[in-house]
Amino acid sequence: MRYLLALDQGTSSSRAIVFDAQGQIVAMAQREFKQIYPQPGWVEHDAMEIWASQLDTAREALRKAGLTAADIRALGITNQRETTVLWSRKTGLPLHHAIVWQDRRAEPTCAALREQGLGPLVQQKTGLVIDAYFSGSKLKWLLDHVPDARAQAARGELAFGTIDSWLVWQLTNGAVHATDVSNASRTLLFNVHSNSWDDDLLAALDIPRSVLPEVYPSAHRFGQVAAEHLGGEILIGGIAGDQQAALFGQACFKPGMAKNTYGTGCFMLMHTGSQFQSSANGLITTSAAQATATPEFALEGSVFIGGAVVQWLRDGLQAIKGSAEVQALAESVPDAGGVMFVPAFTGLGAPYWNADARGAIVGLTRGSSVAHIARAALESIAFQSAALLQAMSRDALAAGGAPVSELRVDGGACVNNLLMQFQADLLGIPVLRPKVIETTALGAAYLAGLSSGLYSDLAELAGHWQAERVFRPTLPRERAHELMSQWEHAVRQACAT
């Protein structure tokens, strides 16, 4: 039993990866699933399709690896975080499609809470800002709008969960309704100081406690996968929201260490240790993945549209036939030719937090081509991430720490060398890409390995981390500052639309 199975349930696909004890990939399987857009600003998933796709990938990964359940020491789960499911405890069936983290329908609820002056209370207890991004506001929408949902909840018949809880419920045939601190901390309902659901926050959002899962550390023996699903029982030994799992998988265990994940969105986290540090620069404070019951924290900034801008080039603009073509198209021109692309398709996240901003392409001339737009689209990912790191460094300095000195990167888009070099140039610090870029799944596997005794401590895990390539800045700092000024000007134009 020297292998670990990670279930990596993302926004656009479900994946399963088998790792060996050294953190190397043995086998992988992936399934995309349907994105549902009922109206502008709304994004949904079919939770049953997510479950089916995740189970299929787990079976396929084991088959590819030539392993059985008896070979797996433990299973870890990592998930798209704020995506919200409400289901029947009796039938195990969802009452409604899952409401995805990108969905903005709960903004009126959040506006009302802000008008009540609850912003400071929410930030003090949760580390978050009041925004429709977070799952508690989505849960309130479901309870208010699904017929008979509140009555069923009052009778104790419903269960709420983020995708991790949904998968655990299904894997254990309803025996376990649980989550970990990293996912619970994204709900607007969880006090991150005491690691418990908060009565004041539940009252503010009118959420009955009966629908909530039990909360445990991220490395914990949550329960057993029912034998019928994977051919034998397997311990569920780790759970963490995708970004905290990636921070863990990148071995960012010490204060000041930071990572950025380039996926559908971009997510930058900096570990702050046991210190709860509020941001004065538009970031949020979140619970880090916790190997013990002791609270640990991170500063986080979220970019809503990262790699998804490449999907838009493919599906919306039809400028490319496949996402892999974007680097060659962008490299066919020496620069973006003055074009700036602000991909605010669903508003802007940190450090701007402007829900009303909309996508904008500015600086177009008669000489602009689709290649310039493609390059500007790629560069927008780096610009947004640079704005996050600048905000993070300001917060670190204000707290008496040091600015971030290097950035560890992962996620699908980090394989794009043009993007990573431009990121280093904007930041003025080294950007480190690890040998194993599947760090989200790796973090979940590591947590499961810790709780199951495969690993002894964090130092052992830190020893596994290796860089595949280091991107060092080559752009003069003055030019980088000029580019960031142009970016901020473009953002102001996008916010004025």
Q: Work out the average pLDDT over 172-177.
A: 97
- How far apart, in whole angstroms, are the C-alpha atoms of residue 497 and residue 487? 16
How much is the pTM? 0.88
Q: For residue 397, what are the β-bridge partners?
A: none
Domain of 80: which CATH number?
3.30.420.40
Work out the pLDDT band at 497, boundaries 50, 70, 90. Answer: low
Structural domain includes residue 239: yes
pLDDT higher than 80, residue 402: no
pLDDT digits (tens, 9 = 90+) for 404-424: 889 999 988 898 899 999 999
Domain tally, the chain: 1
Work out the pLDDT band at 321, boundaries 50, 70, 90. Answer: confident
Of 351 and 121, the structure prediction assigns the larger pLDDT to: 121
Q: Work out the average pLDDT over 305-324.
A: 85
pLDDT digits (tens, 9 = 90+) for 62-101: 999 999 999 999 999 999 999 999 999 999 999 999 999 9
Structural domain includes residue 391: no
Show the 3-state SS of 280-340: CCCCEEEECCCCCCCCCEEEEEEECCCCHHHHHHHHCCCCCCCHHHHHHHHHCCCCCCCCE
- How far apart, in whole angstroms, are the C-alpha atoms of residue 158 and residue 478? 57
How far, in Å, are 217, 298, 373, 435 from residue 201 at the CA level?
21, 21, 44, 42
- How far apart, in whole angstroms, are the C-alpha atoms of residue 319 and residue 159? 43
- How far apart, in whole angstroms, are the C-alpha atoms of residue 377 and residue 339? 9
Structural domain includes residue 110: yes
pLDDT digits (tens, 9 = 90+) for 97-116: 999 998 999 999 999 999 99
pLDDT digits (tens, 9 = 90+) for 246-302: 999 999 998 889 999 988 888 899 998 888 888 888 888 999 999 999 999 999 988
- How far apart, in whole angstroms, are the C-alpha atoms of residue 109 and residue 317? 33
Structural domain includes residue 15: yes
Q: For residue 8, what are the β-bridge partners?
A: 15, 78
pLDDT digits (tens, 9 = 90+) for 326-356: 888 998 999 999 999 999 888 888 788 788 8
- How far apart, in whole angstroms, are the C-alpha atoms of residue 169 and residue 427? 42
Please give the mean pLDDT across all residues of the chain. Answer: 93
Structural domain includes residue 369: no
- How far apart, in whole angstroms, are the C-alpha atoms of residue 294 and residue 195? 9
CA atoms within a 13 Å half-sphere pointing along the CA-CB vector of 103: 30
Q: Which of 25, 1, 28 has its CA nearest to residue 14?
A: 28
Residue 444 near residue 77 (C-beta atoms within 8 A) = yes
Q: How high is the pLDDT of residue 278? A: 83
Q: Work out the average pLDDT over 363-383.
A: 94
Q: How high is the pLDDT of residue 354? A: 85
pLDDT higher than 90, residue 308: no
Residue 493 near residue 362 (C-beta atoms within 8 A) = yes
- How far apart, in whole angstroms, are the C-alpha atoms of residue 489 and residue 497? 13
Domain of 7 in residue numbering reads as 3-243
Q: For residue 178, what are the β-bridge partners?
A: 214
Residue 45 near residue 33 (C-beta atoms within 8 A) = yes
Structural domain includes residue 303: no
pLDDT digits (tens, 9 = 90+) for 15-70: 999 999 999 999 999 999 999 999 988 999 999 999 999 999 999 999 999 999 99
Q: Rounded to an integer, what is the distance from CA 259 to the centroid of its chain?
A: 12
Q: How high is the pLDDT of residue 284? A: 87
Structural domain includes residue 460: no
Q: How high is the pLDDT of residue 280? A: 83
Q: How high is the pLDDT of residue 393? A: 87
pLDDT higher than 90, residue 125: yes
Structural domain includes residue 324: no
Q: How high is the pLDDT of residue 325? A: 84
